[in-house]
Structure 1
Amino acid sequence: MTRALKPLTTAFAAGLLATGLGLSSASAQDAELQFGTTSPPGNMQSNSAEEFARRVNERIGDYGKVDVYTSSQLGNDKEMLQKLRLGTQDMSQPSTIMSTVVPEFGLFDMPYLVKDRAHMKCIAQEIIWPILAPKLEEKGYKLIGVWENGFRNISNNVRPIDTPSDLEGVKLRTPRGVWRVRMFETYGANPTPMPFSEVFVALQTGVIDGQENPYANIYAGKFHEVQKYLSETRHVYTPSFPTASLSKFNAYPEEVQKAILDTAAEVQDWTYEEAARLDDETKQKLLDAGMEFNEADRDAFVEASKPVYDTFAEEVEGGRELIDKALALADGC
Structure 2
Amino acid sequence: MLTGLTRSLLVATLLAGAPLAATAQDFTLRATANSNEDDEDYDGLVVFKNYVEQASNGRIAVEMFIGTQLCSTGAECMQGVADGAIDIYISTSGGTAGIFPFVQVLDLPYLMPDDRVAEAALSNGTPFMQAMQQKVLETSGGSIRLMTVGNTGGWRNFANTERRIETPSDLAGLKIRTVQADLPQVLVRSMDASPTPIAWPELFTSLQTRVVEGTQNGITDIMNMKFPEAGLQYITLDGHSYMGALWFMNNERFQAMPDDLKRVVVDGFYQLQQATFASPKRKSIQAYQDFVAGGGDIYVPSPDQKQAFLEASAPVYDWFIENVDGGEEMLAALRETVAQVSADIDAARAADMQ
Moved more, 280-289 or 87-96: 280-289
| Residues 320 and 49 of structure 1, relative CA distance in 2, 3 Å threshold | closer
Counterpart check, 1:275 vs 2:275: no
CA distance in 2, matches of 1:194, 1:20: 51
C-alpha displacement of 1:154: 2.2
C-alpha displacement of 1:103: 3.0
CA distance in 2, matches of 1:286, 1:19: 56
Pairing partner for 1:300 from 296, 308, 319: 308
- Rg comparison, structure with higher value: 2
Partner residue, 2:151: 148
CA distance in 2, matches of 1:264, 1:166: 41
C-alpha displacement of 1:113: 0.5
Contact kept in structure 2, 1:108 and 1:236, CA below 8 Å: yes
Runs of 4+ that moved beyond 6 A: none
Instruction: Specify every segment of 5 or more residues in structure 2 that has no aligned partner in the other structure, as ranges.
Output: 1-17, 346-354
| Residues 204 and 60 of structure 1, relative CA distance in 2, 3 Å threshold | farther
Pairing partner for 1:174 from 171, 175, 178: 178
Partner residue, 1:322: 333
C-alpha displacement of 1:233: 2.0
CA distance in 2, matches of 1:103, 1:21: 42
TM-score normalised by structure 1 residue count: 0.82
C-alpha displacement of 1:120: 2.0
| Residues 260 and 158 of structure 1, relative CA distance in 2, 3 Å threshold | same
| Residues 270 and 175 of structure 1, relative CA distance in 2, 3 Å threshold | same
| Residues 294 and 246 of structure 1, relative CA distance in 2, 3 Å threshold | same
Give the aligned residue type for 1:331: A
C-alpha displacement of 1:253: 5.0
C-alpha displacement of 1:199: 2.6
- Superposition map of 1:11-30 within 5 A: 20=21, 22=23
Pairing partner for 2:75 from 66, 78, 85: 78
Partner residue, 2:229: 225
Partner residue, 1:263: 268
| Residues 234 and 129 of structure 1, relative CA distance in 2, 3 Å threshold | closer
| Residues 135 and 320 of structure 1, relative CA distance in 2, 3 Å threshold | closer
Contact kept in structure 1, 2:131 and 2:333, CA below 8 Å: no
TM-score normalised by structure 2 residue count: 0.77
| Residues 58 and 292 of structure 1, relative CA distance in 2, 3 Å threshold | same
C-alpha displacement of 1:240: 0.8
C-alpha displacement of 1:195: 4.0
C-alpha displacement of 1:148: 0.8
Moved more, 304-313 or 238-247: 304-313
Contact kept in structure 2, 1:162 and 1:231, CA below 8 Å: yes
| Residues 131 and 320 of structure 1, relative CA distance in 2, 3 Å threshold | closer
CA distance in 2, matches of 1:317, 1:77: 24
CA distance in 1, matches of 2:180, 2:266: 27
- Superposition map of 1:182-201 within 5 A: 182-201=186-205
CA distance in 1, matches of 2:67, 2:229: 18
Moved more, 166-175 or 137-146: 166-175
Moved more, 113-122 or 179-188: 113-122
Partner residue, 1:4: none
C-alpha displacement of 1:147: 0.8
| Residues 191 and 19 of structure 1, relative CA distance in 2, 3 Å threshold | farther
CA distance in 1, matches of 2:175, 2:259: 48
| Residues 172 and 70 of structure 1, relative CA distance in 2, 3 Å threshold | farther
Post-superposition CA distance 1:49-94 (Å, at most 9, x none): 2322232232345445323333444313232112212222111111
Size of the aligned set, in residue pairs, is: 312
CA distance in 2, matches of 1:38, 1:95: 10
Post-superposition CA distance 1:14-72 (Å, at most 9, x none): xxx99936269xxx6xx653322233322223322232223223234544532333344
Contact kept in structure 1, 2:30 and 2:65, CA below 8 Å: yes
CA distance in 2, matches of 1:69, 1:220: 20
Contact kept in structure 1, 2:190 and 2:312, CA below 8 Å: yes
CA distance in 2, matches of 1:131, 1:21: 38
* Aligned-pair Cα RMSD in Å: 2.8
| Residues 179 and 275 of structure 1, relative CA distance in 2, 3 Å threshold | same
Partner residue, 2:343: 331
| Residues 154 and 131 of structure 1, relative CA distance in 2, 3 Å threshold | same
C-alpha displacement of 1:188: 1.8
Instruction: Specify every segment of 5 or more residues in structure 1 that has no aligned partner in the other structure, as ranges.
Output: 1-16
